[in-house]
Structure 1
Amino acid sequence: MNELIAEMLETTNNMIRAVKEKQFEDVVELLSFRETILKKVDEVKSAQSFFEYSPEEKMMIEETLLLDQRLTALLKEEMDTIDKILNQNKLNKRASQKYQLYSKQLNGAFVDTKK
């Protein structure tokens, strides 16, 4: 069990590294890998009737939870940054579309019928 929890801790560290390096495909792969580790841990726990984590395992789990909270904050920051970029692109697109209307009107001639 100790090896599984240590592997989960290492995977969480690798996920943080991948987010910092903006390698989001790796984050998805590591997340699915961590999920398989969690399933293995649940299988081991359910196999024993009165299962209890060792103090070392508890410390590693607490460290993993703290790292996971940090990872969540990093991902939220990245999502906010991406949202800002998308909104800016949307505004730029709208502005350029408004100016394209004027360029279409320049092809003809203006006739003043009041004079």
Structure 2
Amino acid sequence: MDELLSVIYELTVKMENCLIQEDFVEFDLLLNKREIMMTRVEAEKYEHLDFHYSLSDVRLLKEIYRIDKRLNPLLKGNISKTQASLTQIKKSKQISKSYQPFIQQTNGVFLDKKK
């Protein structure tokens, strides 16, 4: 169990570094790996009916939890930035589409009409 939890801890630390460096592809890969490792920990817990975490495991789990709590605001901030960027791109596309037919005109008068 110690080995699995230490791998989860290392993956969590790497995830934090990826978020700070804004390497979201690597973050996603690490998140998937961590989920697999957590599933293995859960499976091992259910295999042994009288399973209890050792003191070192508990300390490691608390540290993982603390790092994970630091990741939440970073992740939410990046999601907000992404949503704002997507909204801006959507508005730009709408504006571009509304004026696109007039770009092909070579002569004439352009009248902008409010709806």
Q: Per the shorter chain, which TM-score range?
A: 0.7 to 0.9
Over 3 Å counting, the alpha-carbon distance change for 1:25 and 1:103 in structure 2 is closer
Give 1:83's aligned residue: 83
Structure 1 residues 49 and 103, CA, compared in 2 at 3 Å: closer, same or farther?
Answer: closer
Taking a change above 3 Å as real, the CA distance of residues 47 and 103 of structure 1, as seen in their structure-2 partners, is closer
Q: Structure 1 residues 109, 56: CA separation in 2 closer, same or farther (over 3 Å shift)? A: closer
1:24 matched to which residue of 2? 24
Aligned equivalent of 2:15: 15
Q: Deviation at 1:109?
A: 6.3
Aligned residue number for residue 50 of structure 2 = 50
Distance 1:16 1:104, change over 3 A: same
Deviation (angstroms), 1:60: 0.8
Structure 2 portions without partners, runs of 5+? 111-115
TM-score (norm 1): 0.79
Deviation at 1:93, TM superposition (A): 3.3
Give the partner amino acid of 1:78: N
Instruction: Structure 1: give runs of 5+ residues left out of the alignment.
Output: 111-115
* 3-state DSSP of counterpart to 1:52: coil
User: Quick one: percent identity of the two aligned structures?
Assistant: 31
CA distance in 2, matches of 1:109, 1:67: 61
Aligned length: 110
User: Which of the pair has more CA radius of gyration?
Assistant: 1
Moved more, 100-109 or 51-60: 100-109
In structure 2, what residue type is equivalent to 1:26? Answer: E
